[in-house]
Amino acid sequence: MKRLENCMLCPRNCGVDRTKKIGFCRAGNEIKIARAKPHMWEEPSISGTNGSGTVFFSHCNLKCVFCQNYDISTKNHGYKVTTKELADIFLDFQNKAVHNINLVTPTHYIPQIIEAIQCAKDMGLNLPIVYNCGGYESAEAIDMLKGYIDIYMPDMKYYRDKSAIRYSMAPNYFEISKKAIEKMFLQVGKNQFDKFGIMTKGVIVRHMMLPGLMYESKKIVDYLYNTYGDDIYISIMSQYTPTNNLADYPEIDRKIDKSHYEMLVEYCANKGMRNVYIQDGTAASESFIPDFYPYDE
């Protein structure tokens, strides 16, 4: 694919020829996935009762030091599939009656994913497509996805550039994620649901609290609510789980304080926010980190 010969799919703009070498994300020109299974642990309007047909893509354009999916984002765990095989996975999910197709860390495979979605649609796919990403997206890449994505589910991780660089090597993260979310909202509009409460179109912005960054969490909530009101959902996540890679980051080598999470939830309530998803403390557990293994039929 031509776009992979001078890859500018994410804000890093590596410009590498991925048919010959790899850039920051370490992805080549072939799709690599680590897990394709119905997933029950997304937000209720995504997982519903039958689960979300979730495909975890290998590699990532972020380098979060606390990454819970480190084996696939950084250690390159996974196996290669063709666009036709990916389309077949989508269709098999549909046969299993999941509520949607959920693409996790898909940014670096956008051209191939578009081809796979179109192939699957030509063969009868009619499920909503969820784009589940880290929020470090280029506006141009989001433009490419117009007409293919029904639900955008980006993270908004940081407000301060200092934090974004230290923990994810992602300069200008907040400004970039703002522009990307704006594009996403313009594409899909206000949230829509079917009669069972399953989302069919819309935007859910996720924010996972990090230890000691309450100020940033409040600033992110302020920005999102002041900009979009209740036209999008905001998911405030308490599931932060320290990994074994945080020796050089002692300030975040701990779970978040339960009282701090409750303070942020109360902050949202006091602002009059209605469309907010929250988690209980059990989410901060390694049991919420899926095992990665090949797709099986």
Query: Which among 142, 157, 103 has a CA at the least distance from the CA of 10?
Result: 142
Q: What is the CA radius of gyration of the chain?
A: 18
Domain assignment present for residue 1? The answer is no
User: For the residues 162-179, what does the mean pLDDT come to?
Assistant: 98
- 289, pLDDT greater than 50: no
Using an 8 Å Cβ cutoff, are 203 and 188 in contact? yes
pLDDT tens digit string along 249-280?
A: 999 999 999 999 999 999 999 999 999 999 87
Per the model's pLDDT, the better-predicted residue between 273 and 244 turns out to be: 273
Domain assignment present for residue 188? The answer is yes
Looking at the 3D structure of the chain, how many domains does it have?
Answer: 1
Using an 8 Å Cβ cutoff, are 260 and 236 in contact? no
Which range is least confidently modeled, 149-158, 245-254, 276-285?
276-285
Tokens found for residue 47 = 């997982």
Is the alpha carbon torsion for 107, 112, 117, 118 positive or negative? positive
User: Domain range spanning residue 244?
Assistant: 32-286
- 166, pLDDT greater than 60: yes
Domain assignment present for residue 100? The answer is yes
Half-sphere exposure of 173 (CA within 13 A, CB side): 27
Instruction: Please report which confidence band the pLDDT of residue 238 belongs to, taking 50, 70 and 90 as the band edges.
Output: very high
Tokens found for residue 163 = 């934090």
- 37, pLDDT greater than 80: yes
Domain assignment present for residue 196? The answer is yes
- 63, pLDDT greater than 60: yes
Instruction: Please report which confidence band the pLDDT of residue 100 belongs to, taking 50, 70 and 90 as the band edges.
Output: very high
Q: For residue 75, report the phi and psi dihedrals to the nearest 5 degrees.
A: -90, 5
User: For the residues 27-35, what does the mean pLDDT come to?
Assistant: 94
Domain assignment present for residue 8? The answer is no
User: For the residues 120-143, what does the mean pLDDT come to?
Assistant: 98
Domain assignment present for residue 140? The answer is yes
Domain assignment present for residue 95? The answer is yes
Domain assignment present for residue 10? The answer is no
CATH of the domain at 173: 3.20.20.70
- 281, pLDDT greater than 70: no
